[in-house]
Amino acid sequence: MARTKNRYRKQTSEEIPCQTYRTGIYIRLSKERTEIWRNKSQSLETQESLARAFAKEKGLVVTKCYIDYEYSGTTFNRPAYQDMMDDLKKGIINCILIRDLSRLGRNYIEMGRLIDKVFPFMGVRFISINDNLDTLNGLGDKKSFEVEIKNLVNDLYSKDISKKVIAYNIHQASQGYFIGSFPPYGYKLDKQEKGVKLGIDPIVQPVLKTVFEKLTVGQSIIAVTKYLNEERLAVPTAYRETGRLTRLDSDTREWKSANLLRLIKSPVYQGQLVQRKNNKSLAQKDYVHFEHAHEAYISSEDFERIKAKISDRKNSKKSAAPRTPNRYNGLVYAKTKSTQMIRKCRHFSNNKSNYDYYYFTDYVYGTIPSERQ
């Protein structure tokens, strides 16, 4: 009787299929070292090789490999990470495999929420190879405490590294080295032993030289913009993407007068570097200025003359007509606000038109500015 019972148990266990884990390997590298004496890091390849070997050993089916390159672990707004989370929701994968916890993220609170709440709720198996963590085996109190400590250490490490990087960047900028990710239009990165300098881009040089020459002799920004579009010259973003000086047939992006004016006003074309401007928490006094950092396209004197001509042309086109009464007074309000929107007036002028136009604008916290013409 006992043998019949055991035989039945054996057959039942053989009929129950093992769950197949459709595995997504997640890889992240925050930043490459750029010194000329260093070889390109093999970290991405090493992470993937290690993860694939582990998956093969454990019988996991690798469905997709998600790679975030040059993204910090302190934020989870990363394209490959977002793709992975979308695939989890769609059921394309049900297992995440990483080399260690720091690859997924270095934010202590968010990592704890993912491991303790999000992944269990979604039925996702989570494996960190170097941390010997596999949620399939459960998280005991001891293991859970160990994971929390590691996440906290990763968080503190990222904050410490961030401070060191900021201090290093300030030092490099104060020595005239370029600390940005992409060179300005018309320049290329010149990697040197102690840092990165800006060098003239020979491909773009004729374009910018012509632009400044035309502006120097008194041509307007509108006329120069028209010239650039007639020559089908690629806008700076397109040039960075393709490396082509002229536009592709499929590229419909054209130069805009406002963008060209903003471009030529940059002090970088006078050989000056003003860095750390993108940090919105800094005041202008905290920006790092350096004169004669690289070869200039135009002298400061010539640029002042261009700026004066632009200003004179703008003043001559201002409308002398009085503003019309605000017939919408007390009628136009921004959403969620009890105060009425502010009416503003701008003057538009070109070879064909010359008129004032009015618009209403206000700012609602947490949204983009509302605008109605």
Neighbouring-strand partners of residue 346: 357
Is there a contact between 256 and 281 (Cβ–Cβ < 8 Å)? no
Is the predicted pLDDT of residue 210 greater than 80, yes or no?
yes
Range from 163-167, 232-236, 306-310 carrying the lowest mean pLDDT = 163-167
Q: Which long-range contacts (CB under 8 A, 24 or more apart) does 117-124 make?
A: 122/88, 122/89, 123/94, 124/88, 124/94, 124/95, 124/96
Residue 9: strand, helix, or coil: helix
Global pTM value: 0.54
CA distance 322 to 315: 16
Q: Over the chain, what is the mean pLDDT? A: 82
Q: Going by CATH, does the domain composed of 187-316 fall within 1.10.10.10?
A: no
CA distance 35 to 37: 6
Q: Going by CATH, does the domain composed of 19-162 fall within 3.40.50.1390?
A: yes
56 — pLDDT class (breaks 50, 70, 90): very high
pLDDT tens digits for range 238-276: 999 999 999 998 999 999 999 999 999 999 999 999 998
CA distance 180 to 288: 12
Tokens of 20: 């197949």
- Establish whether domains 19-162 and 187-316 are of one fold: no
Q: Which of 270, 260, 268 is nearest to 211 (CA)?
A: 260
Q: Domain map of the chain by residue range?
A: 19-162, 187-316, 317-373
